[in-house]
Amino acid sequence: MSFSSTEQWLTRKILGMAGNPPFQLIVGQAAGKAGANDGLRRTAIVVSDRRMLAELALDPEIAFGDGYSDGRIEVRGDLVVFLEQLMQAMQGAGRTGWYARLRSWWLDRVNDNTTRGSRQNIHRHYDLNVDFYKLWLDERMVYTCAYFPTISATLEDAQVAKMDHVCRKVQLQPGEKVVEAGCGWGALALHMAKHYGVTVRAFNISHEQIAYARERARREGLGDRVEFIEDDYRNISGRPDVFVSVGMLEHVGLRHYEEFGRVIHRTVGDWGRGLLHFIGRNYPHPFSPWMRKRIFPGAYAPALSEVATIFEPWNYSVLDVENLRMHYAKTLEHWLARFESSVDRVTQMFGPEFVRAWRLYLAGSLASFRSGGLQLFQIAFAGANCRQMPWTRAHLYEDLQLALKEEKWMHATP
Amino acid sequence: MSFSSTEQWLTRKILGMAGNPPFQLIVGQAAGKAGANDGLRRTAIVVSDRRMLAELALDPEIAFGDGYSDGRIEVRGDLVVFLEQLMQAMQGAGRTGWYARLRSWWLDRVNDNTTRGSRQNIHRHYDLNVDFYKLWLDERMVYTCAYFPTISATLEDAQVAKMDHVCRKVQLQPGEKVVEAGCGWGALALHMAKHYGVTVRAFNISHEQIAYARERARREGLGDRVEFIEDDYRNISGRPDVFVSVGMLEHVGLRHYEEFGRVIHRTVGDWGRGLLHFIGRNYPHPFSPWMRKRIFPGAYAPALSEVATIFEPWNYSVLDVENLRMHYAKTLEHWLARFESSVDRVTQMFGPEFVRAWRLYLAGSLASFRSGGLQLFQIAFAGANCRQMPWTRAHLYEDLQLALKEEKWMHATP
């Protein structure tokens, strides 16, 4: 067997495992020639050498992510479109090999979100220099799916609209107490206090984020109404009216859902209400192993059947589930565009390998939301004795309707 | 042991099993005296004799239902309030005795919703004389939860609003094809064809309802656009764009959900979308045994974790879940009031025992929705390749907002 026929065999095997996506896999030496033949616009993966090819065959997802990051793999054509095609093809493909499955299982074990494990997992992502996130997030530093009332809204407006959407869904009343589990850099907690007249206790185990949020509360004169607490959700205390968690459930981990439900019930009890906002799935399956290894250790996006285990033991009523999948795709389009226009700065900060890894993470997430591999759920819920429940959901859309009507008038006026 | 002390022991046992609700249980002879002592307004159950008491101790739910129906049990005070208090107390109580559990299990077996079993189960409820249902349903004969845009809307308007709410949630487009599983007397199918320009194939195994619906389609000149088919949902064929089922899932039965999901996917596939509207629960537990025995054989109200088994095997995305529990309570208030004002007519038709059984069913359902024992879910879903998905849910509320705004203007004008 010649080198070339080994390569051919590996190439066929790799493309087969990926469900035979509509693009070429080219090994280094042949890249120039193939590129010339097929035209530059044809999507292709160019792999540096045979060793990279073998790694891809053994553990495709992690090898692809790592190879792309360190430059041994190049993608010709639009990265997001390429990833969408790949995901579409993989949906029809069978299971990955034993080595990849074993590695996936092992990742799950070493990254378990115990109190200690969570602290490590969160530190690796959220304690990165805040100046880095400032380069590509909106001005309020909201690192979760935005809500675009219209498709052309700006990212800044869409993040404010998301925060209002959440506040309205739980019908915040002036004077009420809110607990937030996982508060990022504090945007939502501050927004609730400032615009809805509530007091907030916001929990987070990212040291950098809490420090930043505290400084912000001080600067905005909200220090007496928003308390930022550097602690695990398992240690949440007090008896607030409302429990809110936006973009944290992904870090709780499936085997801690029962515990998470117990914390919610201990906190808001049968009289309270709340909202969970999280990345989910149409059916249960684990996060991409590369994402779990390099970007979000310990992360898991649940299906609704799995999330039910948080609410059902406590007789909580699910009032409203909204799927904002396409809003996360839109959010990621904004983030990716801003990230790309700051690439020089990010390269200075963390080097080119980091840039490529984060490009893959953002592009991969965008492709996942577009193709439906990931969903975004907001679930509003209430305890058995809760008296603060909306009659309909019309109040969520009041401003928008007025705005639309005004727009109609404007168009009608000559 | 005297008779009296046996009675006291049984009385304590029965009230204990019910979680010690805040009312008296009085046996026949003592009723007059106790009534006089406590004032007529105090809520109480008056039981005819010691035998009824023993039946209550052995199988409380069925004995209460049957005893109330045949007049051996009277309830003093407001029946709905009494049932709400009872349900509240029972939530805290332990499990019922072995005999009641065995009976519940047995009911589940004999009433299984196989193709043949479903036909019998549906016949017993829905094939009752249509003139009976006309006495207390709205003019369009919609026998499912209405949607009240405002709390004071009429039942007629609220049923139309519900049908529009459903049509908007699935974003019906003129020319599209719809399949409806379980169509009652045909109101929704006719509404969709008439107001949304779609063609509908509507399935039902109630012979009386199908006959009535066909006559109605003919009368309204919609016979060429709505086909009413007397057949089981398992035999649904064709490739429509939209799958809708309002108030039928309760009759499918938990062990047929996988099959139901398969039927949906065989019908609308990965490109279609749909909506299920059904009575549900906060957590899995069976329907009241009396309801299953006397009113809705084979019925089961699922928790969301159970409903997930319909969607998840087929990679369906849940787009929207709305809980309309209080709208069903409001619907039942209307039905119960209309039923009570037709009691003479119903007595002529079916006799007093039927009247009492149906009063208990309507009042019990009302109490269940008020106290949260029952929920009402509408779930909109879409296949992996569906292209007809709303950007936001604002379009569901357009008219209402305009109406509210007009109302504001009216108030502002002197």
Is pLDDT of A16 > 80?
yes
| pLDDT for the residue A259 | 96
Q: Do A308 and B313 touch (CB under 8 A)?
A: no
Q: What b/e sequence results for A119-143 when a residue is b if at least 16 CB atoms lie within 10 Å of its CB, and e otherwise?
A: eebbeebbebeeebbeebbbebbbb
Q: How far is A244 from chain B (nearest CA, A)?
A: 19
* ipTM of this predicted structure: 0.92
From A308, A315, A389, residue closest to B304, measured CB to CB? A308
| pLDDT for the residue B2 | 56
The residue-averaged pLDDT of A223-246 equals: 96
Q: Do A400 and B391 touch (CB under 8 A)?
A: no
**Which residues on A lie below 8 Å from B394 (Cβ)?**
149, 397, 400-401, 404
User: 3-class SS at B182?
Assistant: coil
The residue-averaged pLDDT of B309-334 equals: 98
More confident residue, B397 or B125: B397
Contact predicate B65/B100, CB 8 Å: no
| pLDDT for the residue A86 | 92
**Which residues on B lie below 8 Å from A375 (Cβ)?**
317-318
CATH topology for A115-403?
Rossmann fold (3.40.50)
Contact predicate A271/A389, CB 8 Å: no
From A149, A313, A372, residue closest to B317, measured CB to CB? A372
Is pLDDT of B408 > 50?
no
Q: What is the per-residue pLDDT across A38-52, written as a single tens digit (0 to 9) for each? A: 545 578 999 999 999
Is pLDDT of B120 > 60?
yes
**Which residues on B lie below 8 Å from A303 (Cβ)?**
308, 312
Residues of chain B with CATH 3.40.50.150: 115-403
Q: Do B326 and A372 touch (CB under 8 A)?
A: no
Q: Do B391 and A311 touch (CB under 8 A)?
A: no
Asked whether the CA dihedral A401, A402, A406, A412 is positive or negative, the reply is: positive
The percentage of chain B sitting over the pLDDT mark of 70, rounded to a whole number, equals 90
pLDDT band, residue B386 (cuts 50/70/90)? very high
Name the CA radius of gyration of chain A, rounded.
Answer: 23
Average pLDDT, chain A: 90
Q: How far is A104 from chain B (nearest CA, A)?
A: 22
Q: Quick one: B406 exposed, middle or buried, by C-beta within 10 A (0-12, 13-18, 19+)?
A: exposed
Q: Do B394 and A149 touch (CB under 8 A)?
A: yes
**Which residues on B lie below 8 Å from A325 (Cβ)?**
317
From B316, B377, B400, residue closest to A394, measured CB to CB? B400
Is pLDDT of A406 > 60?
no
User: 3-class SS at B137?
Assistant: coil
Is pLDDT of B34 > 60?
no
| pLDDT for the residue A90 | 85
Q: Do A394 and B401 touch (CB under 8 A)?
A: yes
From B315, B318, B401, residue closest to A321, measured CB to CB? B318
pLDDT band, residue A412 (cuts 50/70/90)? very low
Q: Do A315 and B389 touch (CB under 8 A)?
A: no
Q: What is the per-residue pLDDT across B181-190, written as a single tens digit (0 to 9) for each? A: 999 999 999 9
Residue with tokens 């692809």: A64
pLDDT band, residue B128 (cuts 50/70/90)? confident
From B303, B316, B377, residue closest to A282, measured CB to CB? B316
**A303 in contact with B at a CB cutoff of 8 Å?**
yes
Q: Do B323 and A309 touch (CB under 8 A)?
A: no
